[in-house]
């Protein structure tokens, strides 16, 4: 059986549970981070710990755990279970008696065909609550993604009341037009750890970043569309609601993905 962490202590994975009567659990007063472990190395750990604290501040979740405590917990879990490659999850519940857990699963990876042929997405009209915070309030994302799967799509993109396509249920979203990349500003979306690296890679490759999101009526005008996340890097979008999108800059998307992964 796999191990886990609860408040800095190694436990069995099946002991990593929360009380259902806990008010903060019922109200999803919690935050989380998902991070990659490659060859026993935690990728971008400092960035994930920083965002974890920022998410806590955004929802007034006060916790007593230090960065050093959480990082040493992840390292202890890696050592205990001899973890090489995995996806780890830090889950922190607030309240009078805060608690945090660290669990892990097999490293999430995608077939090469997703990068060579692109993936399909759907549009879901809805706005995330407190988009800058990575909270466990994920009901809308769950519904949107399930609808996308039923339609045979890989991801659902969230569209706000202005028709702006802001982000995916589990990814950030971009449109390429010439030497410019269009994406939502950080105040409208969760500024993912990979998003930061993707935008940095794009700038190094000569792209200008424009913080204006594509809209639901102009997606077909972009040279290419793509999404990004910790697990997928940068991945091209082939269709939106079943409609083919342009593939003119998939070479650039591949270059961005390659450079971002090199920094891990």
Per-residue pLDDT reduced to its tens digit, 32-86 = 999 999 999 999 999 999 999 999 999 999 999 999 999 999 999 999 999 999 9
Determine the length of the chain: 264
Question: How far, in Å, are 43, 139, 202, 253, 257 from residue 48 at the CA level?
Answer: 9, 23, 21, 24, 19
Q: Is 242 left (phi over 0), alpha (psi -120 to 50) or beta?
A: left
Where does residue 164 rank: exposed (0-12), middle (13-18), buried (19+ CB within 10 A)?
A: middle
What does the pLDDT look like over 76-123, one tens digit per residue?
999 999 999 999 999 999 999 999 999 999 999 899 999 999 999 999
The Cα–Cα gap between 40 and 96 comes to 34
What does the pLDDT look like over 200-237, one tens digit per residue?
999 999 999 999 999 999 999 999 999 999 999 999 99
Residues 124, 170, 203, CA angle at the centre, nearest 5°? 105
């Amino acid at each position: 059986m796999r191990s886990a962490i609860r408040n800095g202590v190694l436990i069995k994975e099946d002991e990593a549970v929360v009380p259902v009567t806990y008010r903060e659990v019922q109200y999803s007063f919690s935050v989380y981070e998902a991070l990659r472990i490659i060859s026993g190395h935690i990728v971008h750990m400092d960035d994930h710990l920083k965002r974890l604290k920022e998410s806590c501040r955004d929802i007034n979740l006060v916790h007593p755990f230090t960065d050093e405590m959480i990082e040493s917990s992840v390292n202890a879990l890696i050592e205990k279970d001899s973890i090489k490659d995995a996806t780890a999850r830090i889950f922190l519940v607030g309240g009078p008696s805060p608690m945090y857990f660290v669990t892990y699963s097999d490293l999430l990876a995608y077939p090469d065909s997703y990068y060579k042929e692109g993936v399909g997405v759907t549009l879901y009209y809805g706005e995330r609550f407190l988009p800058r915070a990575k909270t466990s309030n994920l009901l809308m994302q769950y519904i949107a993604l399930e609808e996308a799967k039923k339609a045979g799509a890989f991801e659902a993109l969230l569209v706000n009341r202005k028709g702006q396509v802001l982000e995916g249920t589990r990814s950030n979203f971009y449109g390429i037009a010439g030497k410019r990349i269009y994406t939502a500003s950080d105040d409208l979306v969760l500024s993912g750890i990979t998003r930061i690296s993707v935008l940095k890679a794009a700038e190094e490759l000569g792209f200008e970043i424009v913080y204006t999101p594509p809209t639901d009526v102009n997606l077909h005008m972009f040279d290419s569309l793509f999404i990004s996340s910790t697990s997928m890097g940068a991945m091209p979008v082939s269709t939106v609601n079943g409609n083919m999108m342009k593939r003119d800059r998939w070479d650039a998307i591949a270059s961005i993905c390659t450079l971002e992964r090199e920094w891990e």
